[in-house]
Structures are given as C-alpha cells and as structure tokens.
Structure 1
Amino acid sequence: MSTATSVNILVRPITPEDNHAIADVIRQVSAEFGLTADKGYTVSDPNLDKLYQLYSQPKSAYWVIEFEGRIAGGGGIAPLAGADEGICELQKMYFLSILRGRGLAHELALKALDFARAQGFSHCYLETTATLTRAIALYERLGFAHIDGSMGNTGHVDCEVTMLKPLG
C-alpha cells in the first residue's frame, strides 16, 4: 500500500530495484552529517546494499520515499536482534535535505510504529548519535524515552543515544 503525501512525494514499500538508490541516500546523508570513517565512525554495514532482502524477513518492513520519481529517503522496522521477541527496532531512517522539514520523518515513523503494533511488538527501541539533534527531537515527540545503555545486538558501536517506546 502506498501513500501519496503530495503530488511529487510517494511513500511505498521497498522493492529489490531500490537497493542501490536507498544505499546511496544513506551514504550521502551520513557524509552530510559527518558520520564517516575519517571522523571516527564505523561505516561498514554489510546489509546496506541489500535492504530489500533484509526487510523481507518476518515482522520486518522498510519504506522508501520518492520525491519527483527519485528515492530520497526511507526507514524501517525489524525485530531487535538479540533481545526479547516483543522488542523491535526503528532502523535506517535517512532523508535527503529535499525531504526535511515536510513532516515525512514523522509520517514514516508513525507508519513503522503502526506496523510494529500490528506485528505484536510491545516496545520499540532505537539508536542514534547525538549529532542528529533534529532526529532525537522527533523521537522524543513520538514518545521515545532515553534509556541508559544499549539493548540487543545491533552492532551500532557509534550510536551513543538509546531510546525506547512502549507500543501499548
């Protein structure tokens, strides 16, 4: 099911053909915010180039956002690896600057949280970095609370901000 939020913007589930484009978006946004190896960040993610396959797993979903026919952002939800089966993780929320300030991150996060509830998850976890202040503010507005320490086995060694939201 796809959602048109304006004439030029489309939010839809990822397809295999989107893998390269969304990986490029994630790399570009990471570089824009200085989240690169030369700044001390771990940037090798073995799944980055195969997000469709990763999110085709049970209880997982990923949506891309097209702007004027081009992939310009995305985000997903999946079970939190190494944690209680009732906990999912909001993952890989990245948006090119052309999408920012339009409420699309909020819309996509709500879509992901609705999906998580429908899958029977009781809590949603996320990790991010302190430099992404606008993202943190969004997560706080959505009801995520800061927690002490990480949960599960995400492999995100550079993400010092950890948050959790009950889905009830």
Structure 2
Amino acid sequence: MPVEPEDTLEILRAETAEDIAAVKSLFLYYLTFVTEYLGQDLSFQGTEKEFAKFPETYTALYLAKKGPVPVGAVGLKLLRPEVIELKRLYVSPAGRGLNLGVKLSQAVINEARQLGYDHLYLDTDPGLIHANAIYEKLGFEDIPQYYENPLADQSRYMRLAL
C-alpha cells in the first residue's frame, strides 16, 4: 500500500516564518494543556516575555509534521552558559502514537551534541507519564533541582550525558 502524502512524517528544524509560527502555536497549546491537565501556571518561567519575543529565547526549534499538518514541537533553550535545556516538548492529539515525542527529543539531543554541550537538562512534571517515559527511554537520569522553581516540589529534574 503506497504512503499517502498526508501520512508522511517529517521532523525538521523550524527556520521559516511559517514553521516558527507553527511551533509557537503548538507551544501555546502546550501551556494550555499544562494549565488544564496539571493545574499549573508556568508564567514564573517568563512565558509572557518568551512569547512576546518568540523565538528569540531559543537556540533551536524543531517541528513534527504529519503530511502538511504541524503535530509536534520541541525547543532547545540556553538557561545559563553551561546549561542547555530541552523545553516544551508537545505532540498534539493528531500526532500521538507515532513516536514523535522520541523523534523530536532525539533531534534536540543531536543539536545539543553538535553545539558541544556535555549534558542536556530538562524539568517535567511526574504526572506527564508519557513524557517521563520518553525521557527515561532516552537515558535521562534524575538530578537535583538545577534552577529556581516555585513548583520545585511538584517537578522532576533530569539530565542526559551527551
């Protein structure tokens, strides 16, 4: 059976205005999801400034497409000179079950390696079961809190040796 164009999956570095806008939209869906699903407000992370100047705060953005439809995104973000993070991994309902969370994470891992970092950091909520399973599968390990976070007691901090 031939693969139809709407069935093709693609992970790409978001560089065009259209792709960057798609990532921004998916990240905003992610923030809504976190607020509704977990009851957490991530504004302490400077999200208002982040989205007002999007994509300035990111080192790289990756987008997953199913055919022409954007269905997932992730960012690589410099927190401090020695700390680069995987941020805002999100796959929309239309893209779930296609291993896109792993593929997007691997794209960011490869980018961090190419940039010469020794480790890739992230923080997540233990309630995000699928995301936690992806990070564990990829070899991320639990570490102590690495930045100031008012949700510290509800957060999981992880790091991957590159």
Relative to structure 1, is the Cα distance of residues 98 and 50 closer, same or farther in structure 2, using a 3 angstrom cutoff? farther
What is the aligned-residue identity percentage?
23
Which stretches of structure 1, 4 residues or longer, exceed 6 Å deviation after superposition? Answer: none
TM-score w.r.t. the length of structure 1 is: 0.75
Aligned Cα root-mean-square deviation (Å): 2.7
Q: Where does residue 13 of structure 1 map in the other structure?
A: 13
Shift of 1:68: 2.8
2:113 equivalent among 97, 117, 136: 117
Name structure 1 gaps, 5 residues minimum: 1-5
1:101 equivalent among 82, 97, 102: 97
Conserved? CA contact 1:42–1:157, under 8 Å:
no
The equivalences for 1:36-51 within 5 A come to 36=36, 39-43=39-43, 45=47, 46-48=49-51, 50-51=53-54
**Larger relative helix fraction:** 2
Shift of 1:40: 4.4
Matched residues, number: 151
Between the aligned partners of 2:12 and 2:53, the Cα distance in structure 1 is 17
Name structure 2 gaps, 5 residues minimum: 1-5
Mapped pair 1:22 → 2:27:
no
Q: Where does residue 163 of structure 1 map in the other structure?
A: 158
Q: Where does residue 72 of structure 2 map in the other structure?
A: 73
Moved more, 132-141 or 61-70: 61-70
SS in 2 for 1:47: helix
TM-score w.r.t. the length of structure 2 is: 0.78
